[in-house]
Amino acid sequence: MGTRFFGKSIVGCRWVFAIKVGPDGTINRLKARLVAKGYTQIFGLNYGDTFSTVAKMASVRLFMAMTAFQRGPLYQLDVKNAFFNGDMQEEIYMEQPPGFVAQGESSGLVCRLRKS
Protein backbone atom coordinates (compact mmCIF):
# COMPACT_ATOMS: atom_id res chain seq x y z
CA MET A 1 0.00 0.00 0.00
CA GLY A 2 3.01 2.32 -0.07
CA THR A 3 2.09 3.58 -3.53
CA ARG A 4 0.44 7.00 -3.77
CA PHE A 5 -1.37 8.82 -6.58
CA PHE A 6 -1.63 12.62 -6.29
CA GLY A 7 -1.52 12.38 -2.50
CA LYS A 8 -4.12 9.59 -2.41
CA SER A 9 -3.41 6.03 -1.38
CA ILE A 10 -3.89 3.28 -3.92
CA VAL A 11 -5.88 0.21 -2.87
CA GLY A 12 -4.79 -3.15 -4.27
CA CYS A 13 -7.10 -5.68 -5.88
CA ARG A 14 -7.29 -9.37 -6.68
CA TRP A 15 -9.42 -11.81 -8.63
CA VAL A 16 -11.66 -14.23 -6.70
CA PHE A 17 -12.77 -17.35 -8.56
CA ALA A 18 -15.63 -19.67 -7.61
CA ILE A 19 -16.99 -22.90 -9.05
CA LYS A 20 -20.76 -23.25 -8.70
CA VAL A 21 -21.80 -26.88 -8.41
CA GLY A 22 -25.32 -28.21 -8.90
CA PRO A 23 -27.15 -30.61 -6.55
CA ASP A 24 -26.00 -33.58 -8.61
CA GLY A 25 -22.32 -32.57 -8.39
CA THR A 26 -21.94 -31.23 -11.93
CA ILE A 27 -20.37 -27.83 -12.56
CA ASN A 28 -23.12 -25.28 -13.30
CA ARG A 29 -20.92 -22.25 -13.96
CA LEU A 30 -17.60 -20.64 -13.27
CA LYS A 31 -17.68 -17.21 -11.63
CA ALA A 32 -15.01 -14.55 -11.30
CA ARG A 33 -15.12 -11.20 -9.56
CA LEU A 34 -12.62 -8.45 -8.92
CA VAL A 35 -12.42 -7.30 -5.30
CA ALA A 36 -10.60 -4.33 -3.86
CA LYS A 37 -8.32 -4.98 -0.91
CA GLY A 38 -10.14 -2.57 1.39
CA TYR A 39 -8.40 -3.95 4.45
CA THR A 40 -5.28 -2.00 3.48
CA GLN A 41 -6.98 1.35 4.12
CA ILE A 42 -6.05 3.39 7.19
CA PHE A 43 -8.70 4.99 9.42
CA GLY A 44 -8.53 8.80 9.25
CA LEU A 45 -6.43 8.75 6.07
CA ASN A 46 -8.50 6.73 3.59
CA TYR A 47 -11.89 6.74 5.33
CA GLY A 48 -13.53 8.61 8.14
CA ASP A 49 -16.15 6.36 9.68
CA THR A 50 -17.48 2.83 9.59
CA PHE A 51 -21.01 1.58 9.98
CA SER A 52 -22.99 -1.58 9.85
CA THR A 53 -26.52 -1.89 8.54
CA VAL A 54 -27.60 -4.24 11.33
CA ALA A 55 -30.62 -3.51 13.52
CA LYS A 56 -31.21 -5.02 16.94
CA MET A 57 -34.19 -7.34 17.07
CA ALA A 58 -35.63 -5.39 20.03
CA SER A 59 -35.68 -2.26 17.85
CA VAL A 60 -37.36 -4.12 14.98
CA ARG A 61 -40.02 -5.55 17.31
CA LEU A 62 -40.69 -2.12 18.84
CA PHE A 63 -41.04 -0.53 15.40
CA MET A 64 -43.43 -3.28 14.25
CA ALA A 65 -45.51 -3.01 17.44
CA MET A 66 -45.82 0.78 17.10
CA THR A 67 -46.80 0.44 13.46
CA ALA A 68 -49.42 -2.23 14.24
CA PHE A 69 -50.79 -0.19 17.18
CA GLN A 70 -51.31 2.85 14.92
CA ARG A 71 -52.65 0.61 12.13
CA GLY A 72 -50.03 1.94 9.74
CA PRO A 73 -48.71 0.17 6.65
CA LEU A 74 -45.59 -1.95 7.06
CA TYR A 75 -43.39 -2.78 4.09
CA GLN A 76 -40.50 -5.18 3.85
CA LEU A 77 -37.30 -4.03 2.13
CA ASP A 78 -34.19 -6.04 1.42
CA VAL A 79 -31.15 -3.75 1.52
CA LYS A 80 -28.29 -6.21 1.67
CA ASN A 81 -26.95 -4.99 -1.71
CA ALA A 82 -27.51 -1.27 -1.11
CA PHE A 83 -23.89 -0.75 -0.02
CA PHE A 84 -22.48 -2.37 -3.15
CA ASN A 85 -24.35 -0.10 -5.54
CA GLY A 86 -23.96 3.16 -3.63
CA ASP A 87 -22.07 6.17 -4.95
CA MET A 88 -18.92 7.12 -3.07
CA GLN A 89 -18.10 10.59 -1.82
CA GLU A 90 -14.39 9.90 -1.28
CA GLU A 91 -11.78 9.62 -4.02
CA ILE A 92 -10.42 6.09 -3.90
CA TYR A 93 -8.00 4.73 -6.47
CA MET A 94 -7.34 1.06 -7.17
CA GLU A 95 -4.38 -0.45 -8.98
CA GLN A 96 -5.07 -2.14 -12.28
CA PRO A 97 -6.34 -5.73 -12.10
CA PRO A 98 -3.70 -8.46 -12.51
CA GLY A 99 -3.42 -9.39 -16.17
CA PHE A 100 -5.15 -6.19 -17.33
CA VAL A 101 -2.09 -4.18 -18.39
CA ALA A 102 -1.57 -4.43 -22.16
CA GLN A 103 1.90 -4.93 -23.62
CA GLY A 104 3.68 -1.65 -24.23
CA GLU A 105 1.39 0.25 -21.83
CA SER A 106 2.49 1.89 -18.62
CA SER A 107 1.98 -0.28 -15.56
CA GLY A 108 1.65 2.75 -13.25
CA LEU A 109 -1.95 3.54 -14.23
CA VAL A 110 -4.75 3.38 -11.66
CA CYS A 111 -8.54 3.12 -11.73
CA ARG A 112 -10.79 5.54 -9.84
CA LEU A 113 -13.60 3.73 -8.04
CA ARG A 114 -16.98 5.41 -8.49
CA LYS A 115 -19.21 2.74 -6.91
CA SER A 116 -18.62 0.88 -3.70
Q: Among 38, 16, 27, 18, which residue's Cα sits nearest to residue 94?
A: 38
Q: For residues 97 and 36, what is the distance between their CA atoms, to the nearest angstrom? A: 9
Per domain, the residue ranges of the chain are 4-115
* Identity of the residue numbered 39: Y
Residue 17 is predicted with a pLDDT of 93
Per-residue pLDDT at 2? 44
Between CA 103 and CA 100 the distance in angstroms is: 10
Predicted pLDDT of residue 82: 53
Q: So what's the pLDDT on residue 84? A: 60
Q: Which amino acid is at 61?
A: R
From first to last of the 116 residues of the chain, give the pLDDT tens digit: 445 566 777 888 889 999 999 999 999 999 998 887 866 666 666 566 665 567 788 888 898 899 999 999 888 766 555 556 666 777 778 888 887 776 666 667 788 887 76
